[in-house]
Amino acid sequence: MKKWRFAFSQRWFGYLALVIAFAIGCVFLSQWQFDRREEAAAEVARVSENWDAEPQQLENVMPKLDEFDVDNKWVSVAVSGQYRESEQLLVRGRPYSGQPGFEVLVPFQLDSGRVLVVDRGWVPAGNSQDTPDAVPTPPTGRIDIVVRLKPSEPTVQGRSAPVGQVATIHLPRVAEILDEPTYIGGYGILASEFPSVADMPIAYPKPLLDEGAHLSYAFQWVAFGVLAFIGLGWAIRQEYRLINEADPVERERAEKRKRKAEDRGPTDAEIEDAILDA
């Protein structure tokens, strides 16, 4: 046991403390990835259940202007009314397939008098200006539309927008601009409209049903934490051999390891190094 006394020194206890701290960090990061996976799985389930379901009545899904149930994300609702094109807004900073652009928000005046913000789709940024070259005009008169609901977005610190544009789809801010009774809990992604027009913004694509690599990342962080202890044990073993290299028993073990390595032959890395040296 005296040969291992060095492992109980202050230096190795410090290394152990570092490894324990690293392992704890790995556990937290692993749990974070598990939580992210649960969120992704819940989103996939919502898309699968709600995307192609029959449209519902808006009043049944969002009875209040300022409330939104996350389980109703992507639920289709059918509403009637008319677009208020003159109060159209552009959401800046919205890339699509790697191209910069905008999402087009048009207030939709419902028969009830309330306003539902409708995202009609995406348009590219202009060639020589920070606005689109053209924005398709929505149909006029009384329209029947089907939209898929999404919750209001948060604001982004330090991000601003010029008149006629917004930095994010933060519905309370949009409601301030419209100055009308507006749904601020959620808005609608346009699915269809009747009567329709030929020239339309690019439609919002169906989200991918992919949970991502969170589960594999979670297991990787667990593996990193375990490997840290294995690495610590290997380092202690190496120092043990160095300190006790004069011990007859350890010298015999070292000779056995050397003979075993010679019988095994050179590794691929050693052969490659020899070729490079030559």
Q: What are phi and psi of 70, to 5 degrees?
A: -60, -25
Q: Would strands 89-91 and 143-151 be described as parallel, antiparallel, or unpaired?
A: unpaired
Angstrom distance (rounded) from CA 77 to CA 60: 9
Q: For position 115, what pLDDT does the model report? A: 94
Name the H helices within 142-247.
171-178, 214-243
pLDDT of residue 223: 94
Q: What letter represents residue 24's amino acid?
A: I
CA distance linking residue 112 with residue 62, whole number of Å: 14
pTM above 0.85, yes or no: no
**Per-residue pLDDT at 35:** 93
Task: From 145, 157, 136, select the one nearest 110 (Cα to Cα).
Answer: 145
**Mean pLDDT of all residues belonging to the chain:** 87
Q: How far apart are CA 261 and CA 264, in angstroms?
A: 5
Segments in the chain below pLDDT 70: 1-2, 128, 249-250, 253-254, 257-259, 261-278
User: Nearest-CA neighbor of 117 among 76, 93, 152?
Assistant: 152
pLDDT for residue 218: 93
